[in-house]
Amino acid sequence: SCTHRHLGRIEMADQMQGVKSLSSLPFVDTTRIGVHGWSFGGFMTTNLMLSHPEVFKVGVAGGPVLDWKYYEAMYGERYMGTPENNPEGYKEASLLNKAKNLKGRLQIIIGYNDPVCVPQHSLAFLRACEDAGTQPDFFTYPGQGHNMMGKDMIHLHERITRYFEDYLK
């Protein structure tokens, strides 16, 4: 497939075509575009925020894959190969290298006990942002895994909604 060994490149171009189409509509305010996704969608949200900071004002990335070398082998290696046999693909897809590009408001949300996108993803990204002088927001759900359950799911959706209401005005 066109994404094999280069996750994020083609998918991001596809999303930008969607933005271009939306931007042609008279009721779309192109100064107030936000993006949200979870897991791979969290990777895409963060990637879009960092690769197109002039377009996206606000993003909420849940359980994001921020560096594919930390991701589970079953999914990551199926699409990326290994870090040893695809070092350029892993380097290109790592969002740690793009932390300096953050301009808008980005909220990273994780389950602290996530066995899929382990906290190391987010902590490494936060370190890269600190080193670059950028300011993402971070929230964690102690005891939760990759997907929120129970009352935390309600809290999560309230948090996402509030974030967009607060910063996408």
Question: Is residue 122 annotated as a catalytic residue, yes or no?
Answer: no
d(CA 78, CA 103): 32
Q: Residues 39, 52, 121, 122: which is the catalytic one? A: 39
| Amino acid present at 34 | G
Q: Residues 67, 94, 114, 121: which is the catalytic one? A: 114
Count of residues for the chain?
Answer: 169
| Strand ranges, E, within 21-151 | 33-38, 56-62, 105-111, 137-141
Nearest C-alpha neighbor of 129 from the set 109, 102, 104, 111: 102
d(CA 45, CA 53): 11
Question: Is residue 137 annotated as a catalytic residue, yes or no?
Answer: no
Cβ of 45: how many Cβ atoms within 10 Å? 26
CA distances from 23 to 5, 19, 28, 32, 104 (A): 31, 6, 6, 11, 18
Q: Residues 6, 51, 146, 152: which is the catalytic one? A: 146
Catalytic positions are 39, 114, 146
